[in-house]
Amino acid sequence: MDNYIYFQLKEHVRGKVGQDIYLEDIAEVACSEDIVEKVKKLVVLSGQKEGINTIKAVDIIKMVNSAIPRARVLFIGASKISIHMYRDGDTGDKNISSFLKAALTSLLLFIGSGLAIMYFHADVNMHEVHGTIYTAITGEKASGSYWISIPYSIGIGLGIALFFGILPNRKKPKTPDPLKIGMYKYKKDIDTFLEDKVLQKSEEQ
């Protein structure tokens, strides 16, 4: 490989505030044995505050060239990488305030979803439908009956639990439930937006 250094940038990198980010954290490196350690241990970012930093391939070329003068740097794949620095406490969520927030949000969802299901039943004339089904099965006239409406109400709870996969299931390997996928997509959207904004700003300057 002579003095060629190949880089393949990773897509997203996360780092804690105060931690140094080395070149090996943000890219796969391939180069000759005698310089590989030196290249990998180049410090890309240090002492960064919370937020998103974008590093372009050109910056890395400059950095590598100043450390190893005769190096020829080649990039494979992406030409920029964003590094998301976050504070240590952010992902922990172990304090009481986060529990309180969760409790409040649960209360909001509890009341809201209860109201929504009532609205829904009134909106679609659910008692009439239940009456029709009652007559269809038993042959008697009745508009709305506890025989059907109470199991129905329990069924709604079961349905939601099934949908979000929170019922215990030991046999089969779990696929990620829709809520996890939804959270992932939502966070990714926000990250992409913030990264693009940071990049735009750095290009304007």
Smallest separation (angstroms) from another protein to the CB of 41: 33
Question: Any idea of the CA torsion for 185, 190, 196, 197, to the nearest 10 degrees?
Answer: 170
- Give the end-to-end CA distance of the chain in Å, rounded to a whole number: 37
Draw the binding track, 32-71, toward another protein (x: CB under 8 A; -: no contact): ----------------------------------------
Q: Is residue 105 a contact point for another protein (CB under 8 A)?
A: yes
For another protein, give the closer residue by CB, 69 or 167: 167
Q: Is residue 197 a contact point for another protein (CB under 8 A)?
A: no
Q: Is residue 191 a contact point for another protein (CB under 8 A)?
A: no
Closest CA to 44 of 20, 28, 61, 65: 20
Q: Is residue 192 a contact point for another protein (CB under 8 A)?
A: no
CB atoms within 10 A of CB 133: 13
CB atoms within 10 A of CB 88: 10
DSSP symbols for 29-40: EEE-HHHHHHHH
- Residues that bind another protein in the complex, under the rule CB under 8 A: 90-91, 93-94, 98-99, 101-118, 120-122, 126-127, 132-139, 144-166, 172, 175, 178-179, 182-183, 185-187, 190
